[in-house]
Amino acid sequence: MENAIWTTIYDFPKEGRDEYLSWLHEKHIPEALSRKGYLWAAHYQLMPNKQQMKVGRSNASAIPVETGFVIYFGGESTRTFMDPGPTQLEKGYSGKTREMMGRRIRPMTYVHTVEWRTEGPESSRGGPPGMPGPFIQMGLFDASGQDEDLGTWYAQERMVLWSRTPGCIRGRKLLATVGPERHSVLYDFTSLELRKQYFPPLNSTEWSLRLHPYLVHPPGSSFLGKRIWPFE
């Protein structure tokens, strides 16, 4: 099971997208997974989420939820993604890789440590240990100094509700070592229909309502994603 996740959220032009996806899935990801400490990879097409938070930083950092993608790499620890780091890797890329990576639009990079996780009713789903399921939801945010209140809410209330939700595989509480927002959560689940039907509303309790004024999300958070690599 991974202890760290390298996340890249980005958009890509429609022109040349098929060529890019073939290169990414058939060449770039397998090469990355050959590095020491890399445990799994998963690539998702993003989708809008009607429960997005309305508080944001600026349009400059908006997540491209209408057309974008997110790629995750799971690692043994954050050191996996720091030795070498993302910037060092970029300097050593081949011409083809530089070309493809350079066509990404507004990439947002995070390296998270997995603080803790909770398992759901579908935690026995197959695939590499820890790799997120067919659908994900990710939120990125700061807590305006109320980190303890946020952390205890997730530990005592929010993740408890999520872990009982039909279709839930697992939930992860993440802390950024690289990236503009300090906190993140990553949920994965088996079915978008089950998520829509059973996902606990964000205003379901007095405690959750208390969090809303001090949470600061980048525009587009939280977002949903459908896995496009690897396939089921």
Predicted pLDDT of residue 53: 54
Beta bridge partners of 184: 140, 174
Domain containing residue 74: CATH number: 3.30.70.100
Average pLDDT over residues 34-63: 76
Residue 202 has pLDDT above 70, yes or no: yes
Cβ-Cβ contacts under 8 Å for 187 (sequence gap 6 or more) = 136, 137, 138, 162, 168, 170, 171, 172
| Model pLDDT, residue 56 | 46
pTM for the whole structure: 0.93
- Residue 67 has a pLDDT of 80
Domain containing residue 32: 4-229
| Contact call for residues 54 and 221 (beta carbons, < 8 A) | no
Q: What pLDDT band is residue 52 in, cutting at 50, 70 and 90?
A: low
Domain count, the chain: 1
Provide the token pair at 198. Answer: 């059973």
pLDDT of residue 199: 84
Q: Is the pLDDT of residue 62 over 80?
A: no
pLDDT band at 141 (very low <50, low <70, confident <90, very high): very high
Give the three-class secondary structure for 169.
Answer: strand
- pLDDT of 55 reads 47
